[in-house]
């Protein structure tokens, strides 16, 4: 480790485009990295105890609050993996990714910190090494994580996920996404239990809805590859309707979804665990995205983010594809 240099790491937020909850029952899901919501981390040599600087806490890592237990676990695992001491280092993070909104904040944080430490040590992590280190933190944050967040926040292309297996997807879609925060923490575990309860009470209808969500995800692959934003928007709206019937939506999400459609969105749906969190709205162009975002804020969204989907952008990932 060179004492006068700074290591850097970069990851990004993620959204689940289609397939949330159905993935629990063996159907596929597609996640999309959001370069418009980056996570930056640095690691530098500084005498003294191992320290962290972030918007939530700044000070010795050993004294960090419980809400930072996940990145702390990832940091310690990375130090052990790289053979670095657990002192004389200061780590910092900078990001606007909100926590508990289904945007992968914990995985993005752990991933960027791992990359910063590896960069400081003059090492390049393989995709599997990076994934394993991020999963250390994700297990602390989520118990039994699927790994989708760990892969997608390190990627620059959409990820197909099914039955524990993942692969990158081709992207040739020219459109814009508006991400709107409901201002309410998502309740993934409650939503998962509610979907299970719906299936137990209405087995035929539950199976039909899960199958429909799987079909939407498979059709979405073609939309992404053939640049079909109008058809993709229709599928996103159908997916929201199915998820709402399963009990995954919320009054806040339903209100924002109606607002987005009324404002000209090609389609709109919740993303992630649901019962709070964020809404996705698909827009044909930048002007439409701005109009939709303004309408969503007037309808109660405390924050919105605009993301341009453009396959021509160069890869900026520090992690090679597996």
Which mean pLDDT values do the consecutive 10-residue runs of the chain (322 residues) have?
79 95 93 93 96 93 93 96 96 90 92 97 95 94 83 92 89 94 88 93 97 97 95 98 97 97 98 93 97 98 91 55 54
CATH (residue range 6-167): 3.30.230.10
Q: Please tell me the predicted confidence (pLDDT) of residue 51.
A: 96
Q: Please tell me the predicted confidence (pLDDT) of residue 145.
A: 80
Q: Which is the CATH superfamily of the domain at 171-309?
A: GHMP kinase, C-terminal domain (3.30.70.890)
Q: Please tell me the predicted confidence (pLDDT) of residue 315.
A: 47
Q: Taking the domains of the chain in order of start, what are their residue ranges? A: 6-167, 171-309
Q: How far apart are CA 133 and CA 123, in angstroms?
A: 14
- Please determine whether the domains at 6-167 and 171-309 fall in the same fold group of CATH: no
Q: Please tell me the predicted confidence (pLDDT) of residue 314.
A: 41
Question: pTM, whole model, 2 decimals?
Answer: 0.87
């Amino acid at each position: 480790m060179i004492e006068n240099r700074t290591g850097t790491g970069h990851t990004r937020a993620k959204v689940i485009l289609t397939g949330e909850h159905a993935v629990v029952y063996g159907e596929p899901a597609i996640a999309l990295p959001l370069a418009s919501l980056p996570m930056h981390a640095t690691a530098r040599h500084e005498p003294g105890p191992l320290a962290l600087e972030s918007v939530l806490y700044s000070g010795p890592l050993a004294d960090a609050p419980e809400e930072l237990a996940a990145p702390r676990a990832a940091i310690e695992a990375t130090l052990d993996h790289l053979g670095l001491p657990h002192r004389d280092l200061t780590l910092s993070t900078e990001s606007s990714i909100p926590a508990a909104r289904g945007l992968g904040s914990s995985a993005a944080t752990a991933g960027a910190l791992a990359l910063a430490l590896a960069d400081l040590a003059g090492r390049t992590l393989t995709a599997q090494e990076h994934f394993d280190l991020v999963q250390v933190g994700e297990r602390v944050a989520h118990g039994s994580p699927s790994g989708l967040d760990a892969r997608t926040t390190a990627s620059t292309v959409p990820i197909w996920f099914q039955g524990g297996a993942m692969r990158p997807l081709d992207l040739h879609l020219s459109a814009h996404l508006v991400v709107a925060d409901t201002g309410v923490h998502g309740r993934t575990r409650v939503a998962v239990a509610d979907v299970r309860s719906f299936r137990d009470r209405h087995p035929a209808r539950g199976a039909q809805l899960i199958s429909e969500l799987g079909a939407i995800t498979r059709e979405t692959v073609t939309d992404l590859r053939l640049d079909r934003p109008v058809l993709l928007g229709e599928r996103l709206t159908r997916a929201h309707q199915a998820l709402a019937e399963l009990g995954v939506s919320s009054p806040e999400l339903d209100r924002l979804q109606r607002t987005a459609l009324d404002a000209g969105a090609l389609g709109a749906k919740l993303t992630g665990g649901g019962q709070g969190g964020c809404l996705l709205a698909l827009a044909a162009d930048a002007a439409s995205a701005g109009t939709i975002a303004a309408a969503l804020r007037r309808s109660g969204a405390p924050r919105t983010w605009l993301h341009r989907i453009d396959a021509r952008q160069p890869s900026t990932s520090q992690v090679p594809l597996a």
